Homo-oligomer: A and B are copies of this chain.
């Protein structure tokens, strides 16, 4: 869409992978180009590009870069998959380009399909948002987490486009502040009313009756419906259950991992401690402080009201509903 207020997150451009450098937002909208697999892997590791569906596109485009350079595709695939272990889409995108006769064409197709899929996902999810609904979201599952449009924010965006007039509580999402930096930026561009809050404010908001539903994305969904997503998601899910508020997960079927029976099998990435102890180049904790900085947590399926995919809405029991939507076996 030419006049989309949010430019493409990641695209193939003249033999390179061109991405919005998400580390520079919200201050500056800067594009970053990766000409080699090494450059792309660095962009993934350093979170210039992040978000499960966007990582799927990045994985496919990384294989395309390797193919164009005449490199060994197995080596390239292994290097790309090793950058971030939790999001299953990365390996899924790598596999798609790896298995195609024309990896470049396939990688471009992955990006185009992603946006189209997110629009369908949004349409399925929009009806779950009450008219005038106050939606709380955590992290960024928007256009910036995908090739475009977004998953959790795609649901909110579709509700907005349908005139349901949602408003959004944006968890800032420490330590990398994807909510404050990215989700707030997207909602501002889209003209959707939003209020930023510290992560610790969710309970107070819910207790006051100020949250009608929660919508988040996912980095990997196990076959039983357990959901790996940005650290802090599990806590929001427990709160939503405590306050009897629906908790929705929005993710494409490519995020569902049929080979992963439950959340216990999902590898959880430890990120560098400096993400917690440093901010904007300044030290915000004592030097040498021990830090646990696991990037994700796993919300048990029992706390998830529904999972919204491009194929429809899955309800418990997820082992059956996800299998039907994803057309396994």
Spell out A's residues near B (CB within 8 Å): 26-27, 138, 169, 171-175, 177, 180-181, 184-185, 188, 193-205, 207, 230-235, 237-239, 241-242, 276-277, 279-286, 288-294, 297-298
B277 touches A196 (CB 8 A): yes
Among A204, A242, A282: residue with most chain B CB under 10 A: A204
Please name all residues of chain B whose beta carbon is closer than 8 Å to the beta carbon of A277 when the two chains form the complex: 180, 196
Please name all residues of chain B whose beta carbon is closer than 8 Å to the beta carbon of A235 when the two chains form the complex: 200, 202-203, 235, 239
Please name all residues of chain B whose beta carbon is closer than 8 Å to the beta carbon of A195 when the two chains form the complex: 290-292
Contacting residue for A234 out of B204, B233, B283, CB 8 A: B204
A188 to B232, CA, bound (A): 26
> Mind listing 30 A-B residue pairs with CB under 8 Å?
A172-B174, A172-B285, A174-B174, A174-B198, A175-B198, A177-B285, A180-B277, A180-B284, A195-B291, A196-B276, A196-B285, A196-B290, A197-B291, A198-B231, A198-B232, A198-B293, A199-B232, A200-B230, A200-B231, A200-B232, A200-B235, A201-B292, A203-B234, A204-B231, A204-B234, A207-B234, A238-B239, A242-B242, A279-B284, A280-B284
**Chain B residue nearest in CB terms to A169:** B292
Please name all residues of chain B whose beta carbon is closer than 8 Å to the beta carbon of A171 when the two chains form the complex: 200
A232 to B27, CA, bound (A): 28
Please name all residues of chain B whose beta carbon is closer than 8 Å to the beta carbon of A293 when the two chains form the complex: 197-198
B284 touches A177 (CB 8 A): yes
Known contacts A177-B285, A204-B297; 5 additional CB pairs below 8 A are A174-B199, A194-B289, A198-B199, A200-B297, A235-B239
Please name all residues of chain B whose beta carbon is closer than 8 Å to the beta carbon of A203 when the two chains form the complex: 232, 234-235, 237-238, 297
A141 to chain B, nearest CB (A): 15
**Chain B residue nearest in CB terms to A186:** B286
A173 to chain B, nearest CB (A): 7
